[in-house]
Amino acid sequence: MAEIINLRQARKQKARAEKEARAEQNRVTFGRTKAEKSLTRAERELAQRRIDSHKRDADENP
């Protein structure tokens, strides 16, 4: 004999599972700590300062 299930509960359970799977994927894709973000920002700013310090001025030597 087949098990009787409540379709409303089954749909809700399936929706919860899909939502959790989507959330896990987003955590992998976008999940970075504040420290990681600030480290990346600091490295980018340092690189930009180094590039700017090596640029020549247009009015120095023609």
Residue range 9-21, pLDDT digits in tens: 999 999 999 999 9
35-49 mean pLDDT: 95
Distance CA(39)–CA(46), nearest Å, equals 11
pLDDT over 90 for what percent of the chain? 71
DSSP state of 39: H
Q: Comparing 59 with 37, which gets the higher pLDDT?
A: 37
Residue type, 11: R
Segment 26-31 mean pLDDT? 90
Residue 62 has pLDDT above 60, yes or no: no
How many angstroms separate the CA atoms of 28 and 42, rounded?
23
